[in-house]
Structure 1
Amino acid sequence: MLGRDNDSPVRSGGCDPGTIDAAHDRCGGSMIDGFAGTILLPDSDEYLMAATAYGRVGRPALAARPTGAADVVAAIAYARAQGLELSVRSGGHSPLNINDGGMVLDLSRIRDVEVQGGNRVRLGSGATWGGVAQGLLEYDLAVSSGDTYTVGVGGLTLGGGIGWLVRQHGLAIDSLLEAEVVLPSGAIVTANETSEPELFWALRGGGGNFGVVTTFTFQAHPLRGVVFGTIDVQPGSLAETLRGWRDVMRAAPEKLNSTLYSTPEFGLEMPAATKVLVCYGGADQDAAMAAIRPLLALPGVTGNDVELKLFVEVFDEPSAPPGSIRIVDRNGFARDLDDTLIDRVSTANAALDSAVLMVRYLRGAMNRVPADATAFPHRDVEAFLMSAAFLPPDAPDEAERRIMDSWSPVAEGLTGTYGNFNLRAYSDVLDLMYPPATMERLRAAKRRYDPDNVLAHNLNITP
C-alpha cells in the first residue's frame, strides 16, 4: 500500500489516483507533490512496459516518468518518505532496473538530443543510443556508444560504455564532459572535472550508485558513415576461427572494430552459426575494405554483407527472452587473447550447447586512458568475452552449476568483469569489477553522495 501520512510529499484529499495520468484527470494534480510527469499504476496501460526488463517482469507499486530534474527530486522524496525501494531505469536490458513493491523511476521521457557548439551534444539520460544516432545524423556526428538501438544512454554510460567505436574513440565515458545529477538528498549538481570532480570520477564506471543522472554532455566525433556488416563462417572450428580473427585484428587499424559471435542451434529455423561483425568507423570504402579483406580470407568464410551504411543502421534490435527466464551469464576481459585461452574458450563453448559466445576486440583508444582516471579500471586489455546460457525459470540449481563449472577454466584466464553485461548480482561481482583501490575510492564517494544507500537496486556499492 502507498502510505499517505502528513510528513510525506503526497497531496491530501483522499482521492485514489487510479490509472495513467489520473492524478491530473481526477485528483486535480499529481499524487506526488511537485511532480509534473506521468505516474503509472498497475492498472495503467503502459505500466507493464515500465515494469518489464530483459528476462524479468517486475511488480512495482508504481512507476514514475519524470520530465526533468525537478520531477526526479520530487519522486525521490516521495519514495524515501514512503519507504519504497527505488529502481532507476533508462534502458530496458537489466533486471536490476525494476523491482517488486517499490518505485521504478523511468527516465524515458528525458530524451532530448541537443547539439551545442564545438561538437558538444547534450543527451537526456532516457534517450536511446539508436535515437541519439538518428538525431546526430544530419550533423555528421556520433558518440562512441553501445550496439543496440533501445539501450538507454544513462545505464550504458554509467557502466563504461563499450560500443562500435571503442577502438578509435574509447568507451562512452571517455567522451563524457559533464553530467547533471540529482542526488538522493534532493540537491541538483553539475559534475565535471572542476565541479564535483570526485562525483564525476565515480559516475564514469561506478554505475547508478551515487545519484540519478538526468543529462549527459559528450564530446561527439565527426562521422559521415561506416562500413559495416556480417561475415559468415562455417561453424565447427571455433578455435581456428578465433586465432585467425585475433591475428587479423592485432594488425588492423583502430578504425576497424570487430566482434565474433558463436550461437548454438535454436531449432530448425536457427541453425548453429559463427559470425564476425565488422564496423569500420569511416566512409572511406577503399581504406575500410583494405582493413576488412584479411577477415574475408579467413578459413571457412561462406559469405558477407559488408557495405557502406549510416551509423544509425548498425544498431540492432535483439528480441528479449519471453516473460521470465533464467539467464546464466559470465564475462571478463582478456589482457592477452593467447592460444591457451582460445583453446579453453572453444572447449567450454562446446560443453555449453545452449550458450551464446561473444568475443569483442578492444585494443586501441580505451587502452590509452590511465586505469585510475575513471572508475572503470580495466584498461590494459585486448578483448572482452561473454557467455550466456538460457534456462527455464524452474531449472534445478545443478543445471546452473554445470554451466558455471564449464566456464571456470576460461574465467581463470580472464581479469575483471563488465558490469553492464552482468544481468544479476553474483556474490563476487563487485570484487571482479573493481580492484581494492578503486573500490575504496568508490565507497568514499558513496558515503559522501548517498550515505543512506537510497540507490541500492543495482550492482550496489555500500557506503
Structure 2
Amino acid sequence: MSITPAQAARQELTGFEGKLTGPEDSGYEEARSIYNAMIDRRPALVASCTNAKDVAHAVGFARERGLPLAVRGGGHHGAGLGSCDDGVLVDLSPLKDIQVDAEARTVRVGGGCVWGEVDRATNAHGLATPSGIISTTGVGGLTLGGGIGHLARTHGLTIDNLLEADLVLASGEQVRASADENADLYWAIRGGGGNFGVVTSFRFRLHELSTVVAGPTFWPVELGAEVLTAYRDFIPHAPRELNGFFLFGSVPPAPPFPEDLHLRKICGVVWCYAGADPEAAARAMAPLLDALPAPLLHGPAPMPHPAIQSAFDGLYPPGDQWYWRADFVNEIPADAVDQHAKFGAELPTWKSTMHLYPIDGAVHDHGPTDTAWSYRDARWASVFAGVDADPGNAELIKRWCVDYFEALHPFSAGGAYVNMMMDEGQERVRASYRDNYARLSRIKADRDPDNLFRLNQNIQPAQRP
C-alpha cells in the first residue's frame, strides 16, 4: 500500500522543524485555505516552514518527487497562485520576524509577514515603507510583483525600497540578493514575481512618516465621467506628497459612514497625503475639489499611517469570492471615460469596485529596465474587481469584470500589474514585462532551468543553445 506525500515527508524530512499537514490530517482545511474563496485547491502536502532550512527541505521534496510547488505568503493572489492541487504548498506564515533598525532606517521582515504587522512595527519608530492598500496582504507577494500602494507617488513602489532579500533557490541553495550580491537575482525579483526562488527574508528602506492625512472623498456615481475627467487632469500635476486613487464602489454599510449613504453607489478618491499637516493636505487637494460639485462626503483627516493601510481590511475579509482583471494605462481619452462611467454605474455587488492607481511621481524616477517591473512610463494601473461573499454570485461578478476589462483594454498600454492578473496565459505575462521578458527568461534558465517555480505569472526559462 502506497503512502501519501504527507506521510512520506514526515518520514524523509527528519530535519524539518515546522509542521507537515496532509489531507488525512486534522487542521488540513485551515492549513490549505487562501484569501479568495473562488479558488478551491487541495495540495497533497502543506509544509508550514519556520526557517529557511525548512523551506529548502520542502522545495527539495517537491523537486525530487516531481510534484507541483506553490508558495503562500499572505495568500491574497486573485488567481489563487499561492496554492496547488496534488502538490506541495510551502506555507511561509510562521516566518514572522520583524527587526527595525531606526538609526539606519531599515527593516528586516520575515517572508511570512503581512503588511499590517510591518506597518505597526515601523510606525512605532515614526517610519514607514511603501506597501499596498490592504494590511492583510502578504509582504512577499506584493513586493515581488512590484508593490503599488498609498505611498507610491511619494516614495515609489515597494521594490524601489527593497535593499536585499534572502532566497531559497530551486536547487535548495540559500542565497542573498542585493545590488552587491547576486545582482541578477536582485534585478529579477524586483517585479519578476516568485519565479526565481522562495524569499524567506526582505530588508527595506524606511522613510520618516508617522501621521498621514487620509480618507475618502465620494461623489454620486452619476457624476462618474465628470469626476474621473477632473481627476485624470489633476493628479499628474499634484505634489508628490499627495497620493490618491480613483474608484467606483459602494459606501460600506457601517460606521464611520453616515447611514443615509450606506450602500449608495459612488465614485471618488481615496487620499493619502504623506504628511501630518491637514492644511497642507487641503491645499494640495483643493484644485480637484474646486473643479467639481460638492461631494457627498469628504473625510480626509490626520491618522497614523497604519490606519489608512488597514482601512479596507474589514470590508474585504478572507473568504469572499474574487475575480479581477487589470491593465496599465497611459491615457484616458473621453471614450474611455464614458466606458468607465457606464460600468462603474453597473456594479454587480456592493463590494465590487474599480481602482485607478497613479504610478507617476517617484515611480517615474526609475527607468523601464532598472528593475524587472517594466511599465515605468505608464501613468495609471487599473484593476477591475468583482467581489461578493455569496458563491452564487461568482459568475455575475466574473462577467461584469471581464466585460469591463474588455471594454477598456483597447485604451490600455498593453500589459498589466502581475499582482492583479488572473491566470491569463503566457501572452499576457510577456506583455506585462515587455522588453524585460528576455532578460528575465535568461535569469530563469540560470536559476530555475526546470521551471520548478511555475505556479505564478510564469516566466519560462530561455532555451539553451
Same fold (TM over 0.5): yes
Matches of residues 282-293 of structure 1 in structure 2 within 5 Å?
Answer: 282-293=275-286
> Does the alignment pair 1:387 with 2:373?
no
Counterpart CA distance in 1 for 2:398 and 2:325 is: 12
The correspondence for 2:446, drawn from 435, 438, 448, is 448
Provide the residue aligned with 2:256 in structure 1: none
The correspondence for 1:459, drawn from 444, 454, 457, is 457
Provide the residue aligned with 1:166 in structure 2: 152
Matches of residues 30-429 of structure 1 in structure 2 within 5 Å?
Answer: 32-42=13-23, 44=25, 46-53=27-34, 54-55=36-37, 56-94=39-77, 95-116=80-101, 117-263=103-249, 270-297=263-290, 298-315=292-309, 316-317=312-313, 318-320=315-317, 322=319, 325=321, 327=323, 329-350=324-345, 353=348, 356-389=353-386, 404-415=402-413, 416-426=415-425, 428-429=427-428
Deviation at 1:109, TM superposition (A): 1.0
Counterpart CA distance in 1 for 2:145 and 2:72 is: 13
Structure 2, unaligned runs of 5 or more: 254-260
Counterpart CA distance in 1 for 2:264 and 2:396 is: 27
Deviation at 1:213, TM superposition (A): 0.6
Counterpart CA distance in 1 for 2:338 and 2:451 is: 43
Contact 1:108 1:127 in 2 (8 A): yes
Provide the residue aligned with 1:16 in structure 2: none
Contact 1:264 1:353 in 2 (8 A): no
Counterpart CA distance in 2 for 1:64 and 1:123 is: 20
Counterpart CA distance in 2 for 1:78 and 1:68 is: 16
Counterpart CA distance in 2 for 1:79 and 1:51 is: 17
Distance 1:339 1:86, change over 3 A: same
Which has the larger displacement, 348-357 or 36-45? 348-357
Deviation at 1:214, TM superposition (A): 0.5
Q: Which amino acid aligns with 2:421?
A: N
Distance 1:254 1:100, change over 3 A: same
Which has the larger displacement, 47-56 or 273-282? 47-56
Counterpart CA distance in 2 for 1:224 and 1:183 is: 36
Counterpart CA distance in 2 for 1:86 and 1:380 is: 34
Deviation at 1:179, TM superposition (A): 0.6
Deviation at 1:271, TM superposition (A): 3.1
Deviation at 1:81, TM superposition (A): 2.6
Distance 1:44 1:278, change over 3 A: farther
Contact 2:133 2:150 in 1 (8 A): yes
Q: Which amino acid aligns with 1:404?
A: V
Deviation at 1:301, TM superposition (A): 0.5
Deviation at 1:57, TM superposition (A): 2.8
Contact 2:41 2:84 in 1 (8 A): yes
Contact 1:348 1:410 in 2 (8 A): no
Counterpart CA distance in 2 for 1:284 and 1:40 is: 50
Structure 1, unaligned runs of 5 or more: 13-30
Deviation at 1:40, TM superposition (A): 2.6
Deviation at 1:339, TM superposition (A): 3.2
The TM-score with structure 1 as length reference comes to 0.87
Contact 2:222 2:345 in 1 (8 A): no
Which has the larger displacement, 267-276 or 223-232? 267-276
Deviations 1:300-345 (A, max 9, x none): 501222111111111231425747x462x32112112343432332
Aligned length: 440
Distance 1:395 1:165, change over 3 A: closer
What is the percent sequence identity of the aligned residues? Answer: 35
Counterpart CA distance in 1 for 2:116 and 2:318 is: 21
Provide the residue aligned with 1:433 in structure 2: 432
Counterpart CA distance in 1 for 2:72 and 2:403 is: 33
Contact 2:214 2:308 in 1 (8 A): yes
Deviation at 1:360, TM superposition (A): 1.6
Deviations 1:249-299 (A, max 9, x none): 233111111012212699996332223210001112221121123344432
Q: Which amino acid aligns with 1:380?
A: D
Deviations 1:112-162 (A, max 9, x none): 111234212111111111110001122111011111111111100000000
Distance 1:42 1:347, change over 3 A: same
Deviations 1:234-258 (A, max 9, x none): 2212110101222332331111110
Counterpart CA distance in 2 for 1:97 and 1:148 is: 17
Counterpart CA distance in 2 for 1:363 and 1:251 is: 10
Which has the larger displacement, 290-299 or 452-461? 290-299
RMSD (Å), alpha carbons = 2.8
Which has the larger displacement, 228-237 or 369-378? 228-237
Deviations 1:94-124 (A, max 9, x none): 2110112211111111121112342121111
Counterpart CA distance in 2 for 1:395 and 1:270 is: 17
Distance 1:47 1:275, change over 3 A: farther
Contact 1:2 1:82 in 2 (8 A): no
Counterpart CA distance in 2 for 1:396 and 1:104 is: 25
Distance 1:4 1:434, change over 3 A: closer
Deviation at 1:88, TM superposition (A): 0.2
Distance 1:183 1:2, change over 3 A: farther
